[in-house]
């Protein structure tokens, strides 16, 4: 069982930056691939970024490549999403999730989910 708690969301101006954190419970954090998803109002939850269990492989949706960076610190049981050059279309609730797969972009591959953190990007 893994419990995930996101933090770091908030209101930011377009072009600004935020760093999201996702703290995980449990001693087996290092065995999970981790991902970030987002859900805008009235839209489906979509993939943003993923990192494998060792941190050696990452994957991003095209719209955030070069602006977002996913990383993990297994000593702190935490995964991060550094978001730079934020755009208004990035306004959404951001969720972190854990998968037993090495790395995954599909939501149904993820077994554990956090409650989400709101990110609002003002134009």
Reported as a single tens digit per residue, the pLDDT across 9-28 is: 999 999 999 999 999 997 78
Reported as a single tens digit per residue, the pLDDT across 42-91 is: 999 999 999 999 999 999 999 999 999 999 999 999 999 999 999 999 99
The span from the CA of 102 to the CA of 13, in Å, is 35
- Which residues pair with residue 95 across a beta bridge? 37
The span from the CA of 63 to the CA of 65, in Å, is 6
The span from the CA of 96 to the CA of 71, in Å, is 12
């Amino acid at each position: 069982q893994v419990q995930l708690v996101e933090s770091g969301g908030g209101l930011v101006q377009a072009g600004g930056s935020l760093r999201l954190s996702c703290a995980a419970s449990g001693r087996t954090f290092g065995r999970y691939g981790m991902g970030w998803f987002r859900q805008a109002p009235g839209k489906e939850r979509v993939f943003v970024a993923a990192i494998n269990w060792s941190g050696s492989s990452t994957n991003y949706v095209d719209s955030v490549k070069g602006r977002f960076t996913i990383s993990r610190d297994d000593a702190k049981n935490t995964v991060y999403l550094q978001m730079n050059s934020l755009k208004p279309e990035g306004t959404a609730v951001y969720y972190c999730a854990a998968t037993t797969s090495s790395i995954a972009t599909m939501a149904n591959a993820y077994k554990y989910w956090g409650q989400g953190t709101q990110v609002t990007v003002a134009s």
